[in-house]
Amino acid sequence: MIKVIVSHDVDHLYGRDHWFRDLIYPKMWVRTTLELFRGQITGHEWWLRNTSCFRKYRHNLQAQMDFDREHGIESVFFFGMAKGLGMSYKPAEAKPMISLVHDNGFDTGVHGIDYQSQDGINKEYNTFKELMGYDPCGIRMHYVRFDEETFGRLNVAGYVFDTTEFDKPSCGTLKAPYMVGDMWEFPLAIMDGYLPQQFEKAKEKTLEILDRCRGMGLTYVTVLFHDYQFCDDYKDIRDWYVWLMDYIKDSPDYEFISYRKAIAELGGTL
């Protein structure tokens, strides 16, 4: 039996996130236009993506939570406590959205920016705790960035788990959870952004990864999907996520589990 842990990185919240704060929108307009000319996206998707900057919200948290709850998925949502690499909302702007997720019964953690400085890592942890009045459940670094010292620093900061380790050239890290000090590291196996962005190709690659996980005898497999893509703007990758969750739910070889429950099974506490 493979137990699948699902999480969501919350990279964007509001349309105004990127107004005069970064170059996300100009880059998006250029990239999507090239994708349209190459036949990689439809004209409708091009329009939806490029007008998203004028919407009040760029997240899809409620729709994501509704879907996950209906499928019995105890997913975790990671929110930024610092700005960087196109994640440009402020902690105070995230607070009502973190409360929304928390009040819906889902765990919330930090989507980290600083992975090299102990002071910076501590600051993000403490910002979340002071903002929300409780500890973050865990962390994943933005853009899955880490170095040889990152996981040790995260352990020192007080995190119970991290789920950052990701081998970009291999499109995932297929490895069992392991401990770094008192912290559990859950390597990331499947990430939406490193799959082909066409539905059938993404499905094929995912099945290949799951086959390898079974062959390696892994008990826990982690999946990352960004909530802002749970909409018609990103139809193919949204449909891939829906397919994968249905596939896991309907298969006797898989079941969903949370980081919290996985840690308990491994003998830890959260």
Segment 122-150, tens digit of pLDDT: 999 999 999 999 999 999 999 999 999 99
Domain housing 243: 2-16+57-265
* Averaged pLDDT for residues 88-94: 96
Question: By percentage, how much of the chain surpasses pLDDT 90?
Answer: 91
pLDDT given at position 270: 62
Q: What is the CATH number of the domain that holds 131?
A: 3.20.20.370
Check pLDDT > 90 for residue 259.
yes
> What is the tally of structural domains in the chain?
1
Write out pLDDT tens, residues 10-52: 999 999 989 988 889 999 999 999 999 999 999 999 999 999 9
Evaluate whether residue 48 is within a structural domain: no
Evaluate whether residue 21 is within a structural domain: no
As a whole number of angstroms, the distance between CA 184 and CA 19 comes to 37
- Decide: pTM greater than 0.85: yes
Write out pLDDT tens, residues 162-213: 999 999 988 889 999 999 999 999 999 999 999 999 999 999 999 999 999 9
Check pLDDT > 70 for residue 269.
no
Evaluate whether residue 50 is within a structural domain: no
As a whole number of angstroms, the distance between CA 4 and CA 93 comes to 31
Residue type at 9 in one-letter notation: D
Evaluate whether residue 51 is within a structural domain: no
| Cβ(60)–Cβ(230) below 8 Å | yes
Evaluate whether residue 129 is within a structural domain: yes
Residue 234: beta bridge partners? none
Evaluate whether residue 213 is within a structural domain: yes
Q: How does the average pLDDT of the chain come out, rounded?
A: 95
Evaluate whether residue 22 is within a structural domain: no
* Averaged pLDDT for residues 100-118: 98
CA 241, 244, 248, 253 dihedral sign is negative
Confidence of residue 268 (pLDDT cuts 50, 70, 90): low
As a whole number of angstroms, the distance between CA 1 and CA 220 comes to 9
pLDDT given at position 22: 87
Evaluate whether residue 40 is within a structural domain: no
